[in-house]
């Protein structure tokens, strides 16, 4: 799961925990971006390692 920076980290963790308790296979990671919700356009390098790790198990 990739969440919007507008969603507090605590709420993100709570959502992941609720999904896991229901048997959903979920992976999440938090990336700190300087540029807010458009950061994936500018700071995409920060997402490469977590995305590669996630994709490697598919």
Q: pTM for the full model?
A: 0.60
Instruction: Calculate the CA 40 to chain-centre distance.
Output: 12
Q: Please tell me the predicted confidence (pLDDT) of residue 4.
A: 59
Domain ranges of the chain: 9-56
Q: Give Cα separations from 6 to 26, 37, 56, 58 (angstroms).
A: 20, 8, 28, 28
Q: Give Cα separations from 1 to 9, 16, 25, 29 (angstroms).
A: 12, 9, 10, 7
CA separation for the pair 25, 55 (Å, rounded): 14
User: In which residue ranges of the chain is pLDDT below 50?
Assistant: none
């Amino acid at each position: 799961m990739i969440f919007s920076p507008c969603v507090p980290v605590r709420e993100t963790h709570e959502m992941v925990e609720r999904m896991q308790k229901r048997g959903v296979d979920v992976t999440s990671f938090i990336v700190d971006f300087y540029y807010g919700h458009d950061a994936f356009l500018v700071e995409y390098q920060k997402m490469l390692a977590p995305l590669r790790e996630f994709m490697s198990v598919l």
